[in-house]
Amino acid sequence: MDSTQNNISADELLKAAEQLSLAELERFVGKVIEMQAHRKAPHLSSEESILLARINAGLSPELKSRLDGLAAKRDNGTLTEEERRELIELTDQLEEIHAARVEALSEMARLRGVRLTALMDQLGIRF
C-alpha cells in the first residue's frame, strides 16, 4: 500500500475529534500535546522525561467527568451535601495536580534555562 494513502489530513482528524466524548477528547488532546512536545524535544533527558510525565498528568477521564457533572449540579442548585463534599475533594485533587504540573514545568524551564512562559509555548501548553 502506498504510504500517501495512510496520510490523514488535519481537517479529517478534526472532524473525527468532533465525534469524541469530552473525556475522550481530553485524553486525545493530551496525547497530541505529548506528541508535539516529543517532536519539538525528541531527546529528553531522563529527568526531563519524568518531568514531562508529571506535566501531562491529570484526573482520570472518569473523575474529570464526575467533577464536571457535580459542577453542573452545583451551578443549577441541585447538589446534595454529600455531593458538595465530593466536589470539594475532587477540586482539591485537581488543584494539587495543577500545582504539581506548574512545579514540574518550572523545574523543566530551569533545566533548559528558559522562562516558564517560553517553555509552555515550546510544549504547546495552555491553562
Rounded mean pLDDT, 42-69: 87
Please state, in angstroms and rounded to a whole number, the distance separating the CA atoms of residues 122 and 10.
20
Rounded mean pLDDT, 72-98: 96
User: What pLDDT shows up at residue 41?
Assistant: 63
With a cut of 90, say whether residue 32 has pLDDT above it.
no
User: What pLDDT shows up at residue 98?
Assistant: 92
User: What pLDDT shows up at residue 2?
Assistant: 43
pTM: 0.60
C-alpha cell at 40: 519539538
CB 56 within 8 Å of CB 34 = yes
For residue 43, what is the DSSP state? S
User: What pLDDT shows up at residue 4?
Assistant: 46
Please state, in angstroms and rounded to a whole number, the distance separating the CA atoms of residues 35 and 117.
19
With a cut of 90, say whether residue 64 has pLDDT above it.
yes
Q: Give percent of the chain with pLDDT exceeding 70.
A: 93
User: Ranked by mean pLDDT, which of 9-13, 56-60, 73-77 comes out on top?
Assistant: 73-77
- What letter represents residue 38's amino acid? H
